[in-house]
Amino acid sequence: MIDIEFVRSRFIKHFDGKTGNVYTSPGRINLIGEHTDYNGGFVFPGAVDKGVTAEIRPNDTEDTVMAYAIDLKDRVDFKLSDPEGPRASWARYIYGIALEMKKLGVPVKGFNIAFAGDVPLGAGMSSSAAMESCFAFGLNDLFGDNKVSQWDMVLAGQATEHNYCGVNCGIMDQFASVFGKAGCLMRLDCRSREFEYFPFKPDGYRLVLLDSVVKHQLAGSPYNDRRNSCENVVKHIATKHPEGKFETLRDCTWEQLEEVKAEVGEEDYRRAKFVLGEKDRVLAVCDALNEGDYEKVGEMMYKTHEGLSKDYEVSCEELDFLNDIAKECGVTGSRIMGGGFGGCTINLVRNDLYKQFVETAKEKFNTKYGHQPKVYDVVIGDGSRRLC
Ligand code: GLA
């Protein structure tokens, strides 16, 4: 986690010397349930011990925000009343969240903010959700008397992506960042928004991320196209079944998908096929976790990878290569994590294999791509909170 004093020293230096409140929110991992959130399905994320930490202080102006991104050494000032908002992509998260919190009735006024993060950027660990949740939590505390609920902050983060950053994401990342709890994964039903905490202490196993360092970028990426494909399939099924209520693929069966196969085309069909399969896999993983059957969990992870790679087509050569190495090394489970198009694989690996696996992956990847993957041991941490 980012050191509070580090953020504070920059906050003092770049503004008027006064201190504010310090907030933090984490990035996330996801054990299984990928691209299911915007399809009304299940996800299985957990917050990590890496995140974004921000110091914020109202600056007595009506609507001037002075923002400093410590890691980028970049300062941007803007007004909340400016309809365009700032151009710098990192500053748009602050602008977007502030406006979304205002919509929720928080009387946000001008403020100074400096922030830093240790969620690797572009690794598929949701550095953007960490920013949104952190800023939402801070503005709610400073201007809103903490009246906005955790769920509304989750939705404000998602709306920021949709309205200001061009990513039509689901709610998994913001949910995990706000609701995370140390030592626990969470199973969320994205349709009903019910969730439960699952203590995750796999005896004899651990989770490790291998970052391909292929930068994943969801804005302007085919991420939104995937979502459109899913929605297209739902539309066709709904037209065929006017008697039913079809909001997302969650409401659709395998038979109904088969019925529209010819009309939606091969590509959209394969996308939907992955999503229906993934819904079943998350439920199978829950049962397996309850029984302590980690081999079964791993088997599902490999299936998910295959689906994400071949049917959903959000993998890349480097991630497939890392997945192959995991298989060769006898790793229990391995798959692409997050939106895809780069980023990490998440690996469930037996303790006795861990060292050999990581060494082999580094060596083989380096031979092929000229650099090593980065290795992050997963520590499941707490969600959004005030630090001081
Ligand atoms: C990104 C999005 C999430 C989710 C995942 C894929 O992280 O922000 O909403 O769709 O991709 O599971």
For residue 316, the domain's CATH number is 3.30.70.890
Assess whether 197 and 209 both reside in one domain. no
Q: Does residue 195 sit in the same domain as residue 250?
A: no
Helix 351-369 with 317-328: angle, nearest 10 deg: 140
pLDDT score recorded for residue 218: 77
SS3 15: coil
* 173 counts as catalytic: yes
Averages of pLDDT over runs of 10 residues in the chain (388 residues) are: 95 97 98 98 97 98 98 98 97 98 98 97 94 98 98 98 96 98 97 96 96 83 93 98 97 98 98 97 95 97 98 96 98 96 96 98 98 97 98
Same domain, 197 and 211: no
- Residue 117 has what pLDDT? 98
Nearest CA to ligand 1 atom 5: 339
What residues are paired with 68 via a beta bridge? Answer: 75, 114
Query: How open is the CA angle 354-212-1, to the nearest 5 degrees?
Result: 75
Same domain, 284 and 300: yes
Sign of CA dihedral 80, 81, 87, 93: positive
Nearest CA to ligand 1 atom 10: 35
**Torsion angle defined by CA atoms of residues 266, 267, 268 and 273, in that order, rounded to the nearest 10 degrees:** 80
Is 275 in the same domain as 259? yes
For CA atoms 2, 7, 9, 10, give the dihedral sign: positive
pLDDT of 1: 86
Total domains, the chain: 2
Residues spanned by the domain of 228: 205-377
129 to 133, 329, 341, 369: CA distances (angstroms): 6, 33, 18, 30
Instruction: Verify that 174 and 237 share a domain, yes or no.
Output: no
Task: Identify the pLDDT of residue 56.
Answer: 98
Residues 193, 109, single domain; the answer is yes
> What pLDDT is attached to residue 252?
98
Long-range contacts of 261-264 (CB under 8 A, 24+ apart): 263/236, 264/232, 264/233, 264/236
User: Which token pair is 309?
Assistant: 């790679």
**Do 174 and 275 lie in a common domain?**
no
State the Cα–Cα distance between residues 107 and 72, nearest whole angstrom. Answer: 29
Closest by alpha carbon to 357, among 207, 157, 194, 164?
207
Q: What is the pLDDT of residue 345?
A: 98
The pLDDT assigned to 148 comes to 98
Q: Hey, is 349 helix, strand or coil?
A: strand
Which CATH number fits the domain that encloses residue 152? 3.30.230.10
What are residue 250's phi and psi, to 5 degrees? -55, -30
Same domain as 117, residue 61:
yes
170 Cα–ligand 1 center, Å: 6
Question: Which of 110, 42, 57, 4 has the alpha carbon at shortest distance from 278?
Answer: 42
- 165 CA → ligand 1 middle, Å: 14
Catalytic residue (choose from 173, 211, 268, 320): 173
Contact criterion met (CB below 8 Å) for 46 and 184: yes
Which 3 state secondary structure label does DSSP give 103? helix
Claim to verify: residue 172 and residue 245 sit in the same structural domain: no
Contact residues of ligand 1, CB 6 A cut-off:
34-35, 37-38, 126, 169-170, 172-173, 338-339
Same domain, 79 and 165: yes
| Same domain, residue pair 333 and 371 | yes
| pLDDT of the residue at 217 | 75
The secondary element (H helix, E strand) that includes residue 158 is: helix 150-160
Decide: helix, strand or coil at residue 239.
helix
Q: How far apart are CA 150 and CA 366, in angstroms?
A: 43
Cα(190)–Cα(172) distance, integer angstroms:
8
pLDDT of residue 7: 98
